[in-house]
């Protein structure tokens, strides 16, 4: 008979999670493994709230296993290390993003692209190598192999910076990989939410000219005056979109809802690239003719490997790139999820785990 999440491992842990597709969060007691020779155990201080957490809690993608304890934008302080750990010491500030395991042997892993490993273990919702379910950072402590630990830069804010471990790498990686990081390039960012506002900040730091594309004119002032975008397009305004046709070298599309692609593709120059980083639950319609006629590319990108994630956080610290966040206590999480579903947050919730998570 299978053991319960509370007794399957020796280390007692508490957090908040969802038990069914209602997506309602409750306090949950569970357990984690003892610190192995290559493991790092740390006290969770803050954890960002990603749109993926909402999708997974409600089983929008159809593969959630319950109980689900989400959270993959996790920062904390090391409290114990295994005998063979070399990367960190007790007292260090560290982060964990979207993955906690991979095979470490395949072509992807040996190319520092563990996120594309066929056997990748996501920080929550995946089955770990011991057959138990991985649980995330809506909890008081984590135990993670040192390879998947991110070293936190000195004097870089833990609370505000935590969403970079997902939102940051999700936008940084495609800008780098697809060559959309060259000064003077014209880059579009579709959607001005948790991912989009960070994409704007990275693209500006690379020296590109940034156009924010949104369905709402209400975000124009924020995009230009606060986030530093160079221009703004309302995607529902056909005339505005027509005038801007063929002006962008690349687009990062962060929208996680179903939306039309044709008007966005028309914004690209010939040979332009549009990279999808949002994850709509339903398939998008793909117009092929404009791709062929302009040799344009539509691609996808998902987070990044450990080497690139460390590079991203160091770049962010050097250029003072920080998300705009709202700090919340853990018992506000159900209200936060309701607000997130309505895009009622600027632009990322971060849970103050250390101050608000108490054992029941």
Residues contacting 144, CB < 8 A, separation 6+: 39, 40, 42, 96, 100
Q: Which two tokens stand for residue 127?
A: 């089955």
Cis peptide before 67 (omega within 30 of 0): yes
pLDDT of residue 239: 95
> What are the beta bridge partners of residue 96?
74
pLDDT of residue 225: 95
pLDDT exceeds cutoff 70 at 333:
yes
pLDDT band at 1 (very low <50, low <70, confident <90, very high): very low
Q: What is the pLDDT of residues 214-268, one digit of tens each?
A: 999 999 999 999 999 999 999 999 999 999 999 999 999 999 889 999 999 999 9
Residues contacting 60, CB < 8 A, separation 6+: 54, 281
**Residues 159 and 69 sit within 8 Å (Cβ to Cβ):** no
**Residues 149 and 143 sit within 8 Å (Cβ to Cβ):** no
Q: Which two tokens stand for residue 152?
A: 């936190």
Q: Which two tokens stand for residue 70?
A: 């989400």
Q: Which two tokens stand for residue 267?
A: 């914004």
What is the pTM for the complete model shown?
0.94
Q: What is the pLDDT of residues 167-191, one digit of tens each?
A: 999 999 999 999 999 999 999 999 9
């Amino acid at each position: 008979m299978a053991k319960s999440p509370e007794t399957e491992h020796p280390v007692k842990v508490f957090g908040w999670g969802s038990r069914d597709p209602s997506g309602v969060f409750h306090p949950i007691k569970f357990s984690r493994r003892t610190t192995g020779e290559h493991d790092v155990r740390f006290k969770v201080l803050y954890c960002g709230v990603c749109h993926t957490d909402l999708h997974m809690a409600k089983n929008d993608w159809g593969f959630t296993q319950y109980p689900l304890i989400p959270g993959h934008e996790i920062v904390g302080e090391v409290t114990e290390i295994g005998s063979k750990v070399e990367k960190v010491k007790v007292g260090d500030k560290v982060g964990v993003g979207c993955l906690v395991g991979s095979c470490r042997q395949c072509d992807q892993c040996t190319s520092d692209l563990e996120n594309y490993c066929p056997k990748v273990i996501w920080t929550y919702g995946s089955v770990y190598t011991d057959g138990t379910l991985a649980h995330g950072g809506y909890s008081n402590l984590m135990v993670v192999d040192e390879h998947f630990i991110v070293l936190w830069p000195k004097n870089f804010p833990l609370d505000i910076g935590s969403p970079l471990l997902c939102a940051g790498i999700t936008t940084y990686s495609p800008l780098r990989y697809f060559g959309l990081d060259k000064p003077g390039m014209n880059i579009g960012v579709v959607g001005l939410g948790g991912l989009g506002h960070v994409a704007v900040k990275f693209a500006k730091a690379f020296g590109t000219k940034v156009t924010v594309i949104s369905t709402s004119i209400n975000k124009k002032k924020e995009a230009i005056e606060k986030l530093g975008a160079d221009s703004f397009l309302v995607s529902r305004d056909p005339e505005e979109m027509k005038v801007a046709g063929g002006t962008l070298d690349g687009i990062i599309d962060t929208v996680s809802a179903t939306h039309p692609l044709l008007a966005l593709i028309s914004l690209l120059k010939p040979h332009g690239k549009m990279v999808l980083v949002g994850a709509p639950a339903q398939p998008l319609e793909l117009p092929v003719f404009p791709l062929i006629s302009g040799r344009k590319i539509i691609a996808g990108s998902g987070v990044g490997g450990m080497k690139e994630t460390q590079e991203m956080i160091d770049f962010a610290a050097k250029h003072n790139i920080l998300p705009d966040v709202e700090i919340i206590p853990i018992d506000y999480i159900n209200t936060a999820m309701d607000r997130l579903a309505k895009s009622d947050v600027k632009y990322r919730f971060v849970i103050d785990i250390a101050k608000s998570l108490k054992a029941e």
